Each structure stands twice: as structure tokens, then as C-alpha cells.
């Protein structure tokens, strides 16, 4: 839980939302020079399943490469948390937030190289 410096070139930020239920998830990753995720933080406004999906995902991301992080699947998150079918959108938000954070990080890396 918390925030990283969104202006840092080492930080990627993904913000996603689900209009159907009003959940909003901000997930940030901090990447070291070797391309490993050294920190991940989230702020989620939504139901318990959305918060749990964010929390599990940020823990899972620690120490992963960007490629490994990009391979995360919402079905794995949902399975680990035993989410009911009606809450699958929460795990989809977490997957989308990770992919958005990676995209943001890579965009920053391109402009600073």
C-alpha cells in the first residue's frame, strides 16, 4: 500500500478502473538497472476482492523481471485468492494495472536512453 515517485524514470504507473462497479486501481512498480522489480505499491478504491487482488499482485511482483511480470494472468490471481465468478473483474483489473505499469516504465526508459 502506498505510492512511489511517479516522476522517477525507474517507476512505472498503471491506473485502471471498472466502470461497472466503480473500482479504481493504481499500481506502481520500481525497476532496478538490471530490469528486476524491486518494489511495488498500490492504492485501490473498491471492494475487498479488488484490494486483495492488488495486494497479492504487488507481493507476487517482487523480484520478477519485466517479462515475468508481464506474464501474469488474472486467472492465476483469481485462483490464488479463490475469487467467486462475480468478482473476476477484480483480478482482471490487477492484470491490466500491471501491464499498464510496465508500458509506462518502458515508455519512460525509451525517452531517457
Catalytic residue among 90, 98, 100, 102: 90
- Alpha helices by DSSP H, listed for the chain, are 48-61, 66-70, 74-81, 88-112
Q: Which residues contact 51 (CB under 8 A, 6 or more apart)?
A: 44
Per-residue confidence (pLDDT) for residue 113, from 0 to 100: 58
pLDDT of residue 107: 95
Helix (H/G/I), strand (E/B), else coil: 86 = helix
User: What is the predicted pLDDT for the residue at 19?
Assistant: 66
Pairwise CA distance, residues 11 & 34, whole Å: 14
Confidence of residue 13 (pLDDT cuts 50, 70, 90): very high
CA distance 24 to 47: 10
The class level of CATH for 11-107 reads alpha beta
Confidence label for 22 from pLDDT (cuts 50, 70 and 90):
confident
How is the chain split into domains, by residue range? 11-107
| Residues 23 and 17: beta-carbon distance below 8 Å | yes
SS3 68: helix
Catalytic residue among 4, 15, 18, 21: 21
| pLDDT given for residue 1 in this prediction | 85
* pLDDT tens-digit map of 48-100: 999 999 999 999 999 999 999 999 999 999 999 999 999 999 999 999 999 99
Residue 21 has pLDDT above 90, yes or no: no
47 labelled catalytic: no
What distance in Å separates the CA atoms of residue 50 and residue 69, rounded to the nearest whole number? 19
Amino acid at each position: 500500500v502506498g505510492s512511489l515517485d511517479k516522476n522517477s524514470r525507474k517507476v512505472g504507473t498503471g491506473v485502471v478502473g471498472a466502470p461497472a462497479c466503480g473500482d479504481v486501481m493504481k499500481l506502481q512498480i520500481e525497476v532496478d538497472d538490471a530490469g528486476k522489480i524491486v518494489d511495488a505499491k498500490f492504492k485501490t478504491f473498491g471492494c475487498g476482492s479488488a484490494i486483495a487482488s492488488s495486494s497479492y499482485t504487488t507481493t507476487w511482483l517482487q523480484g520478477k523481471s519485466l517479462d515475468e511480470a508481464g506474464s501474469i494472468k488474472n486467472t492465476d490471481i483469481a485462483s490464488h485468492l479463490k475469487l467467486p465468478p462475480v468478482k473476476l473483474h477484480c483480478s482482471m483489473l490487477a492484470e491490466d494495472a500491471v501491464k499498464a505499469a510496465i508500458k509506462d516504465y518502458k515508455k519512460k526508459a525509451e525517452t531517457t536512453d
